[in-house]
């Protein structure tokens, strides 16, 4: 298990209280808290002076180096190379940007595939692209019993007309981890590209873009302990062949041609810092295979997974004893490897917003609603009744906090 006391000491916000009680930030799937080194990196970039790129003076040259360093760090996080990394406001904006370019490459008779498990950021851009091009959209379903991806449904919609498959690596709503490599292999077998939404997954799992064979992967740093910066890793051939919407003075080649306007340089400083934080975690609590930052990040995720399995198993065991709580998704503690510690619950027929407020009164902060997983909650018949309460843990949570959440849920019975 991770040394959660040491880890939590790095996160200033985790020491906060509300109404005299320590806060349990069980809203991690919506965005995590950040360690001290990330805060210092962002503040330090402002403190040392800011300047735009490509100037003939030292601070501007420092900005150019920062962007290059951020690409290298992001590549180490995502398991790819720096020339594939594109930065932007957030994953949603970047995916819409990319989808507009993709739409120019398809037409009537072509098909795109989305899933009922995904966040709308990896659904709507591709539906709009298909509609703009006169192409057809198809959907992959989920299984009713455990809300996992129905791979038989995937096979049913794939054909030689399929040009792109968009799939989540892990559901931000119910925690399901998808068999993403299997999806990629099946899609590539019919000649389709694959877009992997790894925004939720990157808090818990290594992305490993090149090893998985993904053509495009999206993450947002604020979901894995960093600032509000979006990132895409895109196969270089696509970055060169597709045509982005851009202003005329923008770069002609490379990932820069996809980055619209001045980037969030202080956010990039924080992004480097959070990837270094993960690497340090891998060095202290993991077993890196070599001395590289990429190996250290991979070791961090192995250590995180071991810790989070214990959190998830305890929550699942505890919530199964609460008859007034209904869990949506994988409920078997023996299947914790198939899910992240993100749980969607319904409480005794009550409105999720009411339950979230009652938990907040107890110092436990959660989300209610659909969390932009609109297709999923509509498929489950929960969209019109308030969605669900989402409880999410990550590596800085302790077993004691899980017990506290379970106790609070018990009080609602």
Range list for CATH 3.40.640.10 in the chain? 41-274
| CATH fold of 41-274 | 3.40.640
* Residue 199 phi, psi (nearest 5): -60, -50
- pLDDT the model gives residue 19: 87
Residue 221: the pLDDT is 98
Q: How far is residue 401's CA from residue 398's CA, in Å, rounded to a whole number?
A: 5
> What strand order describes the sheet that includes 193-197?
85-88, 230-234, 216-220, 193-197, 162-168, 111-115, 136-140
Tens-digit pLDDT profile for residues 340-351 = 999 999 999 899
In the chain, which residues fall in CATH 3.90.1150.10? 4-34+294-411
What is the overall mean pLDDT for the chain? 96
Residue 248's pLDDT is: 75
pLDDT value for 349: 85
Architecture (CATH level 2) of domain 4-34+294-411: Alpha-Beta Complex (3.90)
Residue 372 near residue 339, CB atoms below 8 Å: no
pLDDT, tens digit, for every residue of 355-392?
999 999 999 999 999 999 999 999 999 999 999 999 99
Q: What is the pLDDT of residue 249?
A: 65
pLDDT surpasses 70 at 173: yes
Q: Is the pLDDT of residue 251 over 70?
A: no
Contacts of 330 (CB under 8 A, 6+ apart): 146, 147, 148, 174, 175, 176, 338, 339
pTM exceeds 0.85: yes
Amino acid 395: pLDDT: 98
Return all residues near 97 (Cβ < 8 A) that are at least 6 apart: 88, 244, 245, 258, 260
């Amino acid at each position: 298990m991770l040394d959660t006391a040491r880890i939590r000491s790095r996160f200033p916000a985790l020491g906060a209280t509300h109404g005299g009680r320590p806060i349990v930030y069980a809203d991690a799937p919506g965005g995590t808290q950040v360690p001290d080194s990330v805060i210092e990196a962002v503040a330090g970039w402002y403190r040392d002076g800011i300047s735009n790129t490509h100037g003939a003076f030292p601070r501007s040259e420092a900005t150019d180096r920062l962007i290059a360093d951020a690409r290298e760090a992001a590549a180490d996080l995502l398991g790819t190379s720096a020339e594939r990394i594109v930065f932007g406001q957030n994953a949603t904006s970047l995916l819409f940007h990319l989808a507009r370019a993709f739409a120019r490459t398809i037409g009537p008779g072509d098909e795109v595939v989305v899933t009922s498990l995904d966040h709308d950021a990896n659904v709507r851009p591709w539906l709009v692209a298909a509609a703009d091009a006169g192409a057809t959209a198809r959907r992959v379903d989920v299984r009713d019993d455990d809300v996992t991806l129905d791979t038989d449904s995937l096979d049913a919609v794939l054909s030689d007309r399929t040009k792109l498959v968009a799939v989540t690596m892990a559901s931000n709503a119910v925690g399901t981890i998808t068999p993403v490599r299997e999806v990629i292999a099946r899609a590539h077998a019919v000649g389709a590209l694959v877009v992997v939404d790894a925004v939720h997954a990157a808090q818990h799992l290594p992305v490993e873009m090149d090893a998985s064979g993904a053509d495009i992967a999206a993450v947002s740093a604020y979901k894995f302990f960093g600032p509000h910066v979006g990132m895409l890793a895109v196969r270089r051939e696509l970055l060169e062949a597709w045509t982005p919407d851009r202003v005329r003075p923008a770069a002609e080649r490379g990932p820069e041609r996809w980055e619209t306007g001045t980037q969030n340089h202080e956010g990039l400083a924080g992004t480097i810092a959070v990837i270094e934080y993960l690497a340090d975690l891998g060095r202290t609590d993991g077993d890196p295979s070599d001395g590289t930052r990429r190996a250290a990040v991979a070791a961090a995720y192995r250590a995180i997974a071991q810790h989070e399995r214990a959190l998830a198993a305890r929550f699942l065991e505890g919530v199964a004893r609460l008859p007034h709580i209904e869990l949506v998704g994988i409920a078997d503690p023996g299947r914790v490897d198939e899910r992240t510690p993100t749980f969607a619950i319904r409480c005794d027929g009550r409105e999720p917003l009411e339950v979230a407020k009652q938990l907040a009164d107890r110092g436990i902060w959660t989300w209610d609603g659909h969390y932009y997983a609109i297709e999923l909650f509509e498929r489950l018949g929960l969209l019109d009744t308030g969605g669900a309460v989402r409880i999410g843990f990550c590596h800085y949570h302790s077993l004691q906090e899980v017990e506290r959440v379970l106790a609070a849920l018990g009080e609602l019975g």
